[in-house]
Amino acid sequence: MKYIYLTLLAFFLAVHATATKPNVIVIMADDLGFGDVGCYGAKPKNLKTPHIDQLAKEGLRFTSGYCSASTCTPTRYSFLTGNYAFRRAGTGIAPPNGPSIIQPGEKTIGDLLKRAGYRTAVIGKWHLGLGELGKGPDWNGELKPGPREIGFDYNFLLPTTNDRVPQVYVENSRVLNLNPSDPLWVGYKKPSPDHPTGITHRHTLKMDWSHGHNSTIHNGISRIGFYTGGHSARFRDEDLADKWVEKSEEWIKKNKEDPFFLFFASHDLHVPRIPHERFKGKSGLSYRGDVIVQLDWCVGEIVRILKEQGLEKNTMIVFCSDNGPVGDDGYKDGALEFMGDHKPAGPYKGGKYSIFEGGTRTPFITWWPDTIEPGVSDEVVCTIDLATSLASHLELSLPEESYIDSLDVMGALLGKEGAKGRDHLIQQDNGGKGNFGFRKGKWKLLRHAQKMARNVKVEQKLASENIDKLTLVDLEKDPGETQNLAQSNPKMAEKLNAELQALLDRGRSR
């Protein structure tokens, strides 16, 4: 009898230990706006997102879920490190040959979870650089440092972003399928006078460029930057989403006996938007809508994999985006022409590249069957908070010098009664202009370093306007940020401006 009791006790203790260490999957969409999916109000009848909608129906849908920046590299840096990207130089949009922005020694969410016994992986878009500072990536050798030197056991990457060269996969520390007799060269200047580009060979392109993306051509699409060689390693744009799912399934099956953390970094909405053939024409909104449908399929596949492996009740999924939406971002893909009455940013102003709400307020869903009760939350949460929140849940101590802007909002992420989210949030653009948004409660201060023209490439008609250096908005009454209350409520504007500056000067939030 005593033996049976001890066996049962050991079993229940093991179950409890497993339950306190959920698998964690962060699905980070790319350039997905607040209004781009059905559960957040997308209206076009053919723009269907049933899998994302089901995730929201079964989980917690946040109305004030944010990323920390309105472009990809700084948001990804902040998510992984728990530090606002504007606190560090060199965290703007990473170039094709850029070194690793996160060097060994800087702690990441991967380091944190490995300390708790997790297996860790990143699969998909990286865009945080590879290689040593001052050197950058050695495309024909070992690409170190990379994810495996900063807290990840495995990586399968699109190394930059797909409008930048090169179009190859990186598995762990090497370019996949690279033939040494056809070495890969990546550079900033045209390698030879007769090298085909989007300018010299524009007539050959299957997707024309509108601005900037007119250097080396691959798969009928010209890119930012130049490269030669590596032909056996090059991929087809149409196959990216399938490859991310394939590699995620392989890795989950291999690591399912241990708690695991998977950063599933989609590329779907980012230009060039080239959906797989089976998704082309499905949305009625041209390529941009079609890749939203493709993203939704990816979400469905991740859930399918979990259910087939019996892992869904011990897995927390966080669905989010790296920044808000953009229409014409360098290619003539019909995004603006077929936008119709679709509002990618929902009720919010601006989008990618801006500190308006449309730039950083995005879809944000948490899902953990039998742990997270289905519902809607108005609490403020941000991708930068996932490191400290998970540390709190796992009862891990945090180094004083790391995760300095990541706050513990785990109770809000789990939908616990009475749990609060952030009481303030700093929003940045790409970080180089000194433009900040500062949300506190219902109030938001927008501080632009200088008056500037706004060029919002989200809606069909581009909008330009002069921007005041200091704008105060009541988000409850004016979610579209249309009225500047700084003159009528100068005390609140001054108060928020002082608090923002104090946080900037202090150098940390936590």
pLDDT in tens, the chain (510 residues): 544 444 444 444 444 444 479 999 999 999 999 999 999 999 998 999 999 999 999 999 999 999 999 999 999 999 999 999 999 999 999 999 999 999 999 999 999 999 999 999 999 999 999 999 999 999 999 999 999 999 999 999 999 999 999 999 999 999 999 999 999 999 999 999 999 999 999 999 999 999 999 999 999 999 999 999 999 999 999 999 999 999 999 999 999 999 999 999 999 999 999 999 999 999 999 999 999 999 999 999 999 999 999 999 999 999 999 999 999 999 999 999 999 999 999 999 999 999 999 999 999 999 999 999 999 999 999 999 999 999 999 999 999 999 999 999 999 999 999 999 999 999 999 876 789 999 999 999 999 986 554 454 554 333 445 678 899 999 999 999 999 999 999 999 999 999 999 999 999 999
Tokens of 353: 């590249």
Tokens of 37: 């999916």
The secondary structure of residue 113, as a DSSP letter, is: H
CB 162 within 8 A of CB 267: yes
Residues across the chain: 510
Other Cβ atoms closer than 10 A to 347: 14
Closest Cα partner for 67 from 263, 269, 284, 355? 355
CB 83 within 8 A of CB 387: no
Distance CA 338, CA 285 (A): 5
In terms of C-beta distances under 8 Å and separation of at least 24 residues, what long-range contacts does 408-417 make, across chains too?
Answer: 409/379, 409/381, 409/382, 409/385, 412/377, 412/379, 412/381, 413/60, 413/318, 413/366, 413/381, 413/389, 414/60, 414/366, 414/368, 414/371, 414/372, 415/60, 415/366, 415/372, 415/373, 415/375, 415/377
Q: Which residue has the tokens 């230009």?
A: 271
- Give me the pLDDT at residue 13, please: 43
Distance CA 230, CA 457 (A): 35
Output the 3-class SS for 439-455: EECCEEEEECCCCCECC
pTM: 0.94
Distance CA 280, CA 500 (A): 45
Three-state DSSP at 152 gives coil
- Give me the pLDDT at residue 449, please: 84
- Give me the pLDDT at residue 452, please: 54
Tokens of 59: 């989980």
Q: Which residue has the tokens 């728990």?
A: 82
Distance CA 161, CA 181 (A): 26
Closest Cα partner for 109 from 398, 411, 313, 311? 398
Three-state DSSP at 306 gives helix
Name residue 228's beta-bridge partners.
185
* Sign (positive or negative) of CA dihedral 428, 106, 505, 66: positive
| Domain architecture of the chain: domains with CATH | 21-413 (3.40.720.10), 425-506 (3.30.1120.10)
- Give me the pLDDT at residue 432, please: 66
- Give me the pLDDT at residue 453, please: 47
Distance CA 100, CA 509 (A): 25
Closest Cα partner for 205 from 223, 221, 185? 221
